[in-house]
Amino acid sequence: MKKLSLICCLLVAISFTTSCINKSYEDAEVKLVTAEEMQTILDTEDVQLVDVRTPEEFEEVRIVDSQNIDFNSPTFDEDITKLDKEKPVILYCKGGNRSAKCAKKLKDAGFKKVYDLEGGISKWQHSDKIKIESTP
């Protein structure tokens, strides 16, 4: 009887440990999304859309309703504290490099849901999948 109780306790402990490991892995995930997936997320969730390029790049062309937080700015770490960690964040840059680095920083800072636009704005700029605005 003692062995049976011990085995049951051990199985329960293992299942808790495994479920915690899987949950922390899920929480640490950054999801790479296509423009179509991004548009669906924008349409269905209350999302923060962040362009991490320079202000000059942002002025030239950007996704409608995005805000600019320059990844290379010396105030970047302070700037991201203005975002809501509980709301999903979609990041994009020109080609995907800066947004990938930024996504890691956001996850390390405790953001719950982070999406990264695959290929950046340059991949989708001339498609009809996302709404783009540019300076004439």
116-136, pLDDT tens digit by residue?
Answer: 999 999 999 888 888 899 887
**pTM confidence score:** 0.78
In the DSSP assignment, the letter for residue 52 is -
Distance CA 92, CA 52 (A): 6
Question: Which tokens is 41 given?
Answer: 């997320």
Question: What would the pLDDT profile of 17-46 be if each residue is shown by its tens digit?
Answer: 443 433 333 445 899 999 999 999 999 999
Per residue in 49-100, pLDDT (tens digit) is 999 999 999 999 999 999 999 999 999 999 999 999 999 999 999 999 999 9
pLDDT at 26: 44
pLDDT of amino acid 135 = 81
User: 10 Å Cβ neighbour count for 135?
Assistant: 8
Which residues are known to be catalytic?
Answer: 93
Q: Given pLDDT bands bounded at 50, 70 and 90, which one contains residue 7?
A: low
Distance CA 95, CA 136 (A): 22
Mean pLDDT of the residues in the chain? 85
Q: Is residue 87 within 8 Å of residue 46, measured between CB atoms?
A: yes
Distance CA(32)–CA(96), nearest Å, equals: 10
Residue 13 has pLDDT above 70, yes or no: no
- Judged by phi (left if over 0) then psi (alpha if -120 to 50, else beta), residue 96 lies in left
- Tell me what pLDDT residue 16 has: 41
Name all domains of the chain by residue range, CATH numbers in brackets.
30-134 (3.40.250.10)
User: What is the rounded CA–CA span in Å between residue 111 and residue 84?
Assistant: 8
